Chain A
Amino acid sequence: MAFSCFVQGDLALQLEALAICEAFLKALELCVDLSVVESDCKIVVDSLLGVTSAPWKVRQAVSEEFNSSILKMEKHGRNLVCKIFQSICHFLRRFLFLVLSFGPIPTHIAFIMDGNRRYAKKQHIKEGTGHAVGFATLLSVLHSCYEMGVKYVTVYAFSIDNFKRKPEEVQVLTDIMKEKIEELLEDESIVRKLGLRISFCGRLHLLTDPVRRAAEKAMASTAGNTGPVLFVCVAYTSTDEIARAIGKECARRIEGTRTSSTPQEIASSISVADLERSLDFGDCPEPDIVVRTSGESRLSNFLLWQTSFSHLQNPSALWPEFSVRHLIWSILEYQKVHPYLQARRRTASSKKDD
């Protein structure tokens, strides 16, 4: 049924069909894993479909199909049905990515991963689990981005302002960070599969030693990779980054010039490009899109310099709910305004910012 929606429908319906299939698949996997009884399956499917905005009739139809599938599964084996839906999902995903590739794909997307705690509250799970689900979402979003051809992804993991939170929460967050950084370096992780290069930006010395060492190890071991790039902002604020860049630039100018140079000569030799080079991101291109989840509309001291001309989006989904269909929608929105953005960027770079 979802498949027929897909074939007949417009893109919005297709995204909805993908969401329904994903929900269906998740429900099936849950039933397989947990040996959930048939009556509970219906509750699971209903709650998973609840996060889509599918109309009631569609949800009911999917629910009924699901129940009849459960009966078939007893006959033919649950794993077979799972595999069938997995390949449908895979097909839908490849098709939608192909459609997107006809338009411009952003080179760099930045994410403000907001909403883990609210998600945990909504699902009645512990805060730490909310963050862990958030990390799983991050991996899945990274897979999708790199599969579509996005070369750089930047994420706002931990701000310097977050240190002002309760010590227990900061401890939970830093423990999760260390655990997840180490997971990234394991054999079967995304880093190995894609040749990902990871870079941590921020005042790493503010982190506890174990986390800082894990981050430095991750950077060192992936420095030679030539695949896509992931920038993780920890202990970071943009104003701090700019202040450090100004400090670096001033120190460089004072050392590099003759002692007879006047202060005015030294000052006037500093350009916007010089400051840019001293920022944490080096030669990375600026983000094309900044996505902030959970519906908040502010930058919260993230990449203020680099996002001057970026397309800002704030989907209302919480970060753990952000899935491939939100990402596809986000890129579609970007593709709509891309010609205008390109013209603005060309104007900005032709006006020499000395």
Chain B
Amino acid sequence: MLSTVHTAFPLNHQKPYSAHLCSLSSRGIIANTSLLLTPTRPRSSPSLCAALPTDASSAAAATVREESEEGAALPSLLRQGPLPKHVAIIMDGSSRWARARGMPSSFGHEAGHRALKKIVELSGRWGVRALTVYAFSSENWTRPEAEVDFLMMLFESVLKGSLGDFMKDEISVSIIGDITELPQSLQKLAKEVVDMTKKNTKLDVLVAISYSGRRELKRACQNIAQKVKHGLLAPEDITESHIEQELETNHIEFPHPDLLIRTSGELRVSNFLLWQLAYTELFFTKTYWPDFGEEDYVEALHSFQSRQRRFGQRLN
């Protein structure tokens, strides 16, 4: 039952939620409503434990309940093996999440931003070194103009508002994709944020805006064609590493994602990091992005740890 509450309402959106909590509390369903308003506190009273489903996600939930306090170390479920160095996320489902609540898509995107903030914080805390998120694909330009304008404004306000957090948490931000298609003000702001954060080394966050994997490869091909024309390289000598050097992810320490998470139940890669995903473990979850929280992240990371990666060879 608690999990239904968690997925049905955003934890931070106070007004309609507090009314719902009061009704749940008056019916004796929730013992202590104040616990539910603060996302990082332990999540339930003992009477609700029995209601949770017994599977990996509840093991994750149990871990989170036991240890999720401010500044907690890695959950014990994840201590068995190595974490992925680079996690990529396709943050899908914000519009559908909003529609399911009878709200406009902007409501969903804002909730999505809050979820992203949480995941960035957890990644930094747990030692993930790079996080790439698919914020806006080149196909998304065909969405309604109002939604696109809202998203551009959201990106600007997030970049402006979070610069302090990036510096405090030593996060370096890069933007991948065709930024020339973005509004001028956003382009300028993006360049400033990238410049100011480039010396940070704890976590590399790459935000894919107006991004298409195929176009990234086309640009790599164009750059290589220029080198060939200049006589620096013969066409028959072009190798995979020449192409790697031209990709937009080549400037970070771990350019290839170890784990890709896609929310909202879609089973596709959708033109994201085409080349870089060659050996990436894929994790799909039906949860919509605004509901993707610490438990879901632990489940995804745990799933990664339980996989045997062979890269085409044999494990003996």
Interface hits, B138-160 → A, CB 8 Å: 138-139, 141-142
Cα distance, A300 to B270, chains bound together (Å): 17
The reply on B312 being an interface residue by CB < 8 A is yes
Instruction: Note all chain A residues with C-beta closer than 8 A to B107.
Output: none
The interface size bin for chain A is 35 or more
Find the residue from A246, A296, A309 having the highest chain B CB count within 10 A. A246
The reply to whether A308 and B226 contact each other, CB–CB distance below 8 Å, is: no
The reply to whether A242 and B312 contact each other, CB–CB distance below 8 Å, is: no
The 0/1 profile, CB within 8 Å of B marked 1, for residues 208-249 of chain A is 000000000000000000000000000001111011001111
The reply to whether B138 and A247 contact each other, CB–CB distance below 8 Å, is: no
Instruction: Note all chain B residues with C-beta closer than 8 A to A271.
Output: 218
**Which among A246, A301, A305 is the interface contact of B243 at CB below 8 angstroms?**
A246
Interface hits, B260-287 → A, CB 8 Å: 266-271, 274-275, 277-284
**Which among B226, B243, B270, B279 is the interface contact of A242 at CB below 8 angstroms?**
B243
The reply to whether B278 and A243 contact each other, CB–CB distance below 8 Å, is: no
Instruction: Note all chain A residues with C-beta closer than 8 A to B139.
Output: 344, 347-348, 351
The reply to whether A246 and B221 contact each other, CB–CB distance below 8 Å, is: yes
Instruction: Note all chain A residues with C-beta closer than 8 A to B221.
Output: 246, 249-250, 270, 275
Instruction: Note all chain B residues with C-beta closer than 8 A to A301.
Output: 278-279, 312
Q: A267-B226, A300-B278, A353-B215 are in contact. Are A243 and B239 (CB under 8 A)?
A: yes
Instruction: Note all chain A residues with C-beta closer than 8 A to B284.
Output: 297, 312
The 0/1 profile, CB within 8 Å of B marked 1, for residues 320-354 of chain A is 00000000000000000100110010011011010
Q: A243-B239, A247-B238, A249-B225 are in contact. Are A309 and B271 (CB under 8 A)?
A: yes
The reply to whether A351 and B215 contact each other, CB–CB distance below 8 Å, is: no
Cα distance, A169 to B139, chains bound together (Å): 44
Q: A246-B238, A254-B235, A309-B268 are in contact. Are A298 and B280 (CB under 8 A)?
A: yes
**Which among A263, A275, A341, A350 is the interface contact of B226 at CB below 8 angstroms?**
A263
The reply to whether B142 and A164 contact each other, CB–CB distance below 8 Å, is: no
Q: Which residue of A lies closest to B237 (CB)?
A: A247
Interface hits, A34-63 → B, CB 8 Å: none
The reply on A316 being an interface residue by CB < 8 A is no
Nearest-Cβ distance from residue A243 to partner chain B, whole angstroms: 5
Q: Which residue of B lies closest to A313 (CB)?
A: B267
The reply on A80 being an interface residue by CB < 8 A is no
Nearest-Cβ distance from residue B236 to partner chain A, whole angstroms: 6
Cα distance, A341 to B267, chains bound together (Å): 10
Interface hits, B182-229 → A, CB 8 Å: 212-215, 217-218, 220-226, 228-229
The reply to whether A161 and B238 contact each other, CB–CB distance below 8 Å, is: no
Cα distance, A251 to B313, chains bound together (Å): 33
The reply to whether A275 and B271 contact each other, CB–CB distance below 8 Å, is: no
The reply to whether A246 and B229 contact each other, CB–CB distance below 8 Å, is: no
Find the residue from A250, A266, A300 having the highest chain B CB count within 10 A. A250
Cα distance, A233 to B185, chains bound together (Å): 47
Instruction: Note all chain B residues with C-beta closer than 8 A to A308.
Output: 213-214, 268-271, 274
The reply on A311 being an interface residue by CB < 8 A is yes
Cα distance, A159 to B314, chains bound together (Å): 13
The reply to whether A253 and B225 contact each other, CB–CB distance below 8 Å, is: yes
Cα distance, A83 to B127, chains bound together (Å): 63
Nearest-Cβ distance from residue B224 to partner chain A, whole angstroms: 6
The reply on B55 being an interface residue by CB < 8 A is no
Cα distance, A312 to B281, chains bound together (Å): 13
Nearest-Cβ distance from residue B112 to partner chain A, whole angstroms: 19
The reply on B168 being an interface residue by CB < 8 A is no
The reply on A7 being an interface residue by CB < 8 A is no
**Which among A247, A350, A353 is the interface contact of B212 at CB below 8 angstroms?**
A353
The reply on B15 being an interface residue by CB < 8 A is no
Cα distance, A348 to B213, chains bound together (Å): 12
Instruction: Note all chain B residues with C-beta closer than 8 A to A166.
Output: 314
Q: Which residue of B lies closest to A352 (CB)?
A: B138
Q: Which residue of A lies closest to B282 (CB)?
A: A297
Nearest-Cβ distance from residue A287 to partner chain B, whole angstroms: 11
Nearest-Cβ distance from residue A39 to partner chain B, whole angstroms: 39
Instruction: Note all chain A residues with C-beta closer than 8 A to B230.
Output: 263
Instruction: Note all chain A residues with C-beta closer than 8 A to B228.
Output: 250-251, 254
Instruction: Note all chain B residues with C-beta closer than 8 A to A350.
Output: 142
Cα distance, A308 to B212, chains bound together (Å): 10
Cα distance, A247 to B278, chains bound together (Å): 20
**Which among B215, B220, B268, B312 is the interface contact of A310 at CB below 8 angstroms?**
B268
Instruction: Note all chain B residues with C-beta closer than 8 A to A300.
Output: 278-279, 312
Cα distance, A251 to B141, chains bound together (Å): 33
Instruction: Note all chain B residues with C-beta closer than 8 A to A344.
Output: 139, 268, 270
Nearest-Cβ distance from residue A297 to partner chain B, whole angstroms: 4
Cα distance, A248 to B239, chains bound together (Å): 12
The reply to whether B311 and A161 contact each other, CB–CB distance below 8 Å, is: yes
The reply on A304 being an interface residue by CB < 8 A is yes
The reply on B307 being an interface residue by CB < 8 A is yes
Instruction: Note all chain B residues with C-beta closer than 8 A to A243.
Output: 238-240, 242-243
**Which among A162, A263, A296 is the interface contact of B307 at CB below 8 angstroms?**
A296
The 7 closest A-B pairs by CB, nearest first: A161-B312, A251-B235, A267-B222, A263-B229, A263-B226, A301-B278, A308-B271
Q: What are 10 inter-chain pairs, A to B, with CB distance below 8 A?
A: A238-B278, A249-B225, A250-B221, A250-B228, A299-B279, A308-B274, A309-B268, A312-B282, A312-B284, A340-B266
**Chain B residues in contact with chain A, CB under 8 A?**
138-139, 141-142, 212-215, 217-218, 220-226, 228-230, 235-236, 238-240, 242-243, 266-271, 274-275, 277-284, 307, 309, 311-314
- Extra inter-chain contacts (19) besides given A159-B312, A272-B215, CB under 8 Å: A161-B312, A165-B313, A243-B239, A246-B238, A247-B238, A251-B235, A251-B236, A254-B228, A267-B222, A267-B226, A275-B221, A297-B282, A297-B307, A299-B278, A301-B312, A305-B214, A308-B270, A341-B268, A348-B139
